[in-house]
Structure 1
């Protein structure tokens, strides 16, 4: 984990972002005191659980049917 001053961070931001893209973390300091941490971006998502909606959703037997009346309702033909 690298440590840089605010001045260095401003002048080397592109390099620090490239480092973060490679998974490296950087601590930014002001007067020798840590004030920020530059880390790789990670999307926070709940893990997918297959079947979570089982038993909650009912699909009608005629779901895939598309009648002449449906066509008229959709397209006005």
Structure 2
């Protein structure tokens, strides 16, 4: 979150508002005499992206017995024969 002084905030207000609106920055702190005085944030709540079920559908085939190769995998890690 960037901090800008009052003078810069006045002269760049439209740029700061656009940065907050587009999500480029979450918020901007406006300082007066080096001390935080105000916070500029978006009024719209951020939309959290969620994972969609079925995104990888058709990209791979799941084995019928997921535990069938456990001994072989364990042997690879332990450098032993299955």
TM-score (norm 1): 0.52
Distance 1:4 1:28 in 2: 5
- Structure 2 residue 28 is the aligned partner of structure 1 residue 26: yes
Distance 1:36 1:42 in 2: 18
Instruction: Identify the residue that residue 8 of structure 1 maps to in structure 2.
Output: 8
- Listed as ranges, the gaps of 5+ residues in structure 2 are 46-82
- Listed as ranges, the gaps of 5+ residues in structure 1 are 44-77
Q: Using the TM superposition, give the Cα deviation of residue 42 of structure 1 relative to its aligned residue in structure 2, in angstroms.
A: 2.7
TM-score (norm 2): 0.49
The alignment of Structure 1 onto Structure 2 pairs a total of residues equal to 43
Distance 1:20 1:2 in 2: 11
